[in-house]
Structure 1
Amino acid sequence: MNTASWRGWAEQMSTGLALVDAGLRVVWINPALAEWLDTGPRSAVGQPLGLLLHEPDWLGQAERALAEQRAVQLRGVALRTARGREWPADVALQPVDGGVLLEVHVLAPAAPAASPLSATLRGFAHEVKNPLAGLRGAAQLLQRRVADEDLKALAGLVIAEADRLASLANRLLHHDGAPRLGPVNIHEQLEWLTDLLQAEPEPPQLRHDYDPSLPDVKGDAERLQQILLNLARNAIEAGARTLTLRTRVEHGLRVGERMLRTALRVDVADDGPGVPAALRDTLFEPLVSGRADGSGLGLALAREIAREHGGELRYASRPGETVFSLYLPLERTHE
């Protein structure tokens, strides 16, 4: 079996895969398994398999597969991550090219307190991953075959978005609700959104009204991107032709039972027809949509992500002017 022939498509698979050499050191690992193990594909290469998997009690089976040159199937073994999490998994060990190929199928347990939204999205995530892999592969082929640099850039944008959506689907499937927090420049996120919207066949008119003095916010950059994209898409699909992206600081904001002394406010304002009166009380509920072809997941997911960050998502609407406001804490909250 020629490993070089399958690594390209294996990079896109949602199944966890890794190749180890005769000394049980990692030669290659695909992004799906690296994400499960809370590591990067590059940093994993060269590590002993036992260190990467935190000395699983089934590691001797990999040595057995190598010594006997036959496949070994393991059911319900423990997969331990760098952050101390543990997941049950089915693992197949296949001798290949003087080493062993690991195929890992993580058996994510049902979350005991999963929200209705998360449960709904997990089903959706299962369905979306295979089409995303096909979309990414087609965009890669296009990027290699076209000579025009603008077309290459657009293909690269498709690849980046497919990767972002695959990452989102993985998080939903893995039941990992904790955002990966770090410093986020919200204006860089809004410029990313601008570039994405301007690549649309019929892009909306965009206006920017930024407060340049705003500090970085502590957040998960990918999840905050998801909120901004969902808000913009929602406005465009509702008929808006002009979007205004605005940033401000809010003082003394109450979010539920907590008081935010200072908060970052990001407004996505549009000139659409406004939120229908019949939907105003249930707009953020899962599967509620004002469009016949709408999924009703975008705003529900956006609010869930905002609350994960200790913030909130609110809106005010009238015909010709609708404003969705994302609030994120700029410092610790006070009871």
Structure 2
Amino acid sequence: MLMAVPALPGPALKVEDLLGQLETGVAVLDRSGVLVYANPAFCELFAVSPSRSHGLPVQALGEPARVFIPLVERVRAGGASVRLREQTLETRTGRSLHADIGVSLWTDDGVLLEVHELGADISAMPTARLSESLRGLAHEVKNPLAGLRGAAQLLKRRLVEPDLVRLAELVMSEADRLAALTDRLLQPGGKPHLSVLNLHEVAERARALIAAEAEPALRLERDYDPSLPSLRGNGDRLLQLVLNLMRNALQAKASRIGLRSRAEHNVLIGDKAVRLAARLDVIDDGVGVPETLRHTLFMPLVSGRSKGTGLGLALAQEIAQEHGGTLSYRSRPGQTVFSLLLPLGSEPARASETGWTDHG
């Protein structure tokens, strides 16, 4: 029987009935790690008979229990909810399940386990597929880019006003960056050159570019953590990532875009744990991510706009993964936050080798 929860207003409705309607797999575990409730979606994901789920030890779920048990123990010890994104679980039936996992306190004695199956195995989406989609485009833009840079260079020589000179230089630097990007797309497989860089400098460069192309009414805000250390990365690639996120915000009819940086301690990035990571949030007040796209948003060729290419966010996720990081989001109308998480310092350690406390 499900543990007691606060009564809901209105007609009597059991919590089991509410959870039973969810497409997300939900189970409640007692203090000893035994299932006291599992909704139909959870039973289907793990091939468990609904009539036999009550009283089933979590270990009986097989290999996925090795992921669930440390998360449950972590939540019991610290009280904070834990979420792991894009995990691959091998079920007892041999099925490879790709899902987001969440664990939180339910009552003093119970823990709520959520397993949200993703629409497709994003981790198996080959990088080559995206690069192949862009390679033809790279051929087409190289010559126009060279002409654009040449025109900006000639224009700069004739300008006197400092602000206009800076704009011409901005056009030239962007043409150079895009030319380097096309070269990389034409020669796939090579790793980007990494150097020590300041994430705030990347963010400020993106901010300047967006300010130059957006309407004057757009409010651009920033809230940086000055203590954030430098990291190793490719400045051009990270700039492309931030620009893609900010341009998405513009296309979502945002009137305000904010950039916020923070240091994160003892976090999980995928299945790896890092002692220190940099988080850069791109926050906007636009219309939000459509519900129909939430499970496929980072896949190539998926777009919520009739004229969209569906490549911007897929490329952004690819760049984050190149740097050992990840890109996630949360969204509702009026507030969407895309969060880039990048490891700082030494090579990340496996989560199973340490006593990490949180992050998904």
Confirm or deny a common fold (TM above 0.5).
yes
The one of 286, 303, 319 equivalent to 2:300 is: 286
Match of 2:63 in 1: none
- The yes-or-no answer on 1:130 pairing with 2:143 is yes
5+ residue gaps, structure 1, are 1-112
- TM-score, structure 2 normalization: 0.60
Match of 1:84 in 2: none
Match of 2:220 in 1: 206
Aligned to 1:188, the other structure's residue is in SS state helix
Query: Map of 1:78-117 to 2, 5 A cutoff?
Result: 115-117=128-130
- The yes-or-no answer on 1:240 pairing with 2:269 is no
Q: In the TM superposition, what is the alpha-carbon distance from 1:287 to its structure 2 partner?
A: 1.0
Q: Deviations over 1:258-311 (max 9, x none)?
A: 122221100000000000011111111111111112111111111001001100
Match of 1:183 in 2: 196
Q: In the TM superposition, what is the alpha-carbon distance from 1:256 to its structure 2 partner?
A: 2.3
CA distance in 2, matches of 1:169, 1:117: 13
Question: CA-atom RMSD, angstroms?
Answer: 1.5
One-letter amino acid of the structure 2 residue matched with residue 181 of structure 1: L
Q: In the TM superposition, what is the alpha-carbon distance from 1:189 to its structure 2 partner?
A: 1.3
Label 1:270 to 1:114 Cα distance change in 2 as closer, same or farther (>3 A): closer
CA distance in 1, matches of 2:288, 2:321: 24
CA distance in 2, matches of 1:201, 1:317: 22
Query: Map of 1:1-335 to 2, 5 A cutoff?
Result: 115-203=128-216, 204-331=218-345, 332-335=347-350
Whether the aligned pair in 2 keeps the contact of 1:248 and 1:266 (CA below 8 Å) is yes
- TM-score, structure 1 normalization: 0.64
One-letter amino acid of the structure 2 residue matched with residue 234 of structure 1: N
Q: Deviations over 1:198-225 (max 9, x none)?
A: 2225142111111111100111111111
Label 1:261 to 1:320 Cα distance change in 2 as closer, same or farther (>3 A): same
Whether the aligned pair in 2 keeps the contact of 1:179 and 1:309 (CA below 8 Å) is no
Q: In the TM superposition, what is the alpha-carbon distance from 1:253 to its structure 2 partner?
A: 2.3
CA distance in 1, matches of 2:290, 2:202: 29
One-letter amino acid of the structure 2 residue matched with residue 333 of structure 1: P
CA distance in 2, matches of 1:238, 1:299: 14
One-letter amino acid of the structure 1 residue matched with residue 169 of structure 2: G
CA distance in 2, matches of 1:320, 1:266: 19
CA distance in 2, matches of 1:154, 1:233: 19
Between 1:259-268 and 1:319-328, the stretch displaced more is 259-268
CA distance in 1, matches of 2:135, 2:174: 19
Whether the aligned pair in 1 keeps the contact of 2:255 and 2:286 (CA below 8 Å) is yes
CA distance in 2, matches of 1:197, 1:316: 22
Q: Deviations over 1:120-145 (max 9, x none)?
A: 11122111112211211221222223
One-letter amino acid of the structure 2 residue matched with residue 296 of structure 1: G
5+ residue gaps, structure 2, are 1-125, 351-360
Whether the aligned pair in 1 keeps the contact of 2:127 and 2:318 (CA below 8 Å) is no
CA distance in 1, matches of 2:221, 2:297: 25
Aligned to 2:298, the other structure's residue is in SS state coil
Q: Deviations over 1:8-43 (max 9, x none)?
A: xxxxxxxxxxxxxxxxxxxxxxxxxxxxxxxxxxxx
CA distance in 1, matches of 2:308, 2:330: 21
Q: In the TM superposition, what is the alpha-carbon distance from 1:330 to its structure 2 partner?
A: 0.9
Whether the aligned pair in 2 keeps the contact of 1:125 and 1:170 (CA below 8 Å) is yes
Aligned to 2:213, the other structure's residue is in SS state coil
Aligned to 1:315, the other structure's residue is in SS state strand
Label 1:177 to 1:302 Cα distance change in 2 as closer, same or farther (>3 A): farther
